[in-house]
């Protein structure tokens, strides 16, 4: 078992305990030396993980803390890191911030597992054109809450139109991000590039009772169910 796996196991052991556990009890459960337990607890405390106690007294994990026991191989970590870095190409500042936070957490995990953080893969930020933050936020909110939007849209030829749409999901391509939606004007599914949406305004109406079935039908028509079974681009469903 790797060092990081043992540290995750230590966290889980403390989380399930109903009383402080001594270093010796922890060492016996994890089958490591007492000195290793002291080192693990000190390292985790220095990272801000709320382990209370000290050598000779016992240790307990604050009840409010929750950490899933996840660990990745070097190849898996590299794949995740590349994916997170590629988010910078989507022109969505909110997602970029979230990706950077996730990368920071990965770097912390790497330091715990004594894996080198020497970066050997770089991803260009060139990609999809940027879209105003308020439009991105409105689209994402409407997908999540399944509310209807009125948009002003300008197509590739420069023609401008007003549409009432039911936003279903976002689909990310290397050079553009689109929202797949039911278009009331066309009475059919349509795709709208986010950077071509000039205005987006929510209306009081919702389509929560139809959203799930519409997404399934869109997935079938676009053959996402064949290429990626069980996944439809990025769907933000209601909680």
CATH of the domain at 176: 2.30.30
- Res. 99: pLDDT tops 70: yes
How does pLDDT run across 102-144, given as a tens digit for each residue?
A: 776 666 555 444 444 455 667 776 777 878 889 998 998 999 9
- Whether residue 67 is contained in a domain is answered as no
Instruction: Give the span between the Cα atoms of 201 and 72, in whole angstroms.
Output: 42
Average of pLDDT values for 165-179?
89
**pLDDT for the residue numbered 230:** 46
Specify whether the CB–CB gap between 193 and 178 falls below 8 A: yes
**Total domains present in the chain:** 3
- Give 84 or 225, the one with higher predicted confidence: 84
Residues 199, 144, single domain; the answer is yes
Residues 85, 46, single domain; the answer is no
**pLDDT for the residue numbered 232:** 41
- Whether residue 44 is contained in a domain is answered as yes
Which domain, by its residues, includes 171?
Answer: 133-227
DSSP 3-49: HHHHHHHHHHHHHH-SS-B-HHHHHHHHTS-HHHHHHHHHHHHHTT-
Residues 161, 182, single domain; the answer is yes
- Whether residue 122 is contained in a domain is answered as yes
Domain end: 127, 157, 173, which one?
Answer: 127
- Whether residue 236 is contained in a domain is answered as no
B/e letters for 154-167, b = 16+ CB within 10 Å, e = fewer, are eeeeeeeeebebbb
Number of H helices, E strands in the chain: 8, 7
- Give 175 or 26, the one with higher predicted confidence: 26
Structure-token pair, residue 150: 């009125």
Residues 120, 137, single domain; the answer is no
**pLDDT for the residue numbered 103:** 73
- Whether residue 152 is contained in a domain is answered as yes
Residues 148, 202, single domain; the answer is yes
For residue 207, give every residue at least 6 positions away whose Cβ sits within 8 Å of its Cβ, in sequence order, or none.
146, 147, 148, 166, 182, 214
Nearest to 7 by CA among 108, 77, 116, 118: 108
In this prediction the pTM is: 0.58
């Amino acid at each position: 078992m790797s060092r990081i796996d043992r540290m995750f196991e230590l966290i889980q052991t403390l989380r399930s305990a109903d009383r402080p556990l001594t270093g010796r009890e922890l060492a016996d459960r994890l089958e490591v030396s007492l000195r290793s337990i002291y080192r693990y607890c000190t390292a985790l405390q220095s990272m801000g993980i709320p382990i209370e106690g000290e050598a000779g007294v016992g240790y307990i994990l604050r009840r409010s803390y929750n950490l899933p026991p996840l660990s990745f191989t070097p190849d898996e970590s590299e794949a995740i890191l590349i994916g997170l870095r590629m988010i910078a190409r989507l022109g969505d500042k909110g997602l970029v911030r979230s990706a950077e936070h996730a990368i920071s957490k990965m770097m912390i995990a790497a330091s715990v597992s004594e894996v080198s953080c020497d970066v050997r893969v770089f991803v260009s930020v060139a990609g999809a054109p940027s879209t105003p933050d308020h439009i991105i936020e409105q689209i994402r909110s409407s997908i999540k809450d399944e509310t209807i939007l009125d948009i002003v849209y300008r197509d590739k030829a420069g023609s401008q139109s007003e549409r009432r749409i039911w936003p279903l999901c976002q689909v990310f391509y290397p050079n553009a991000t689109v929202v797949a939606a039911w278009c009331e004007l066309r009475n059919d599914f349509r795709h709208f590039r986010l950077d071509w949406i000039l205005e987006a305004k929510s209306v009081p109406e919702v389509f929560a009772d139809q959203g799930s079935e519409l997404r399934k039908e869109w997935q079938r028509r676009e053959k996402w169910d064949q290429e990626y079974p069980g996944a439809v681009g990025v769907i933000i469903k209601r909680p």
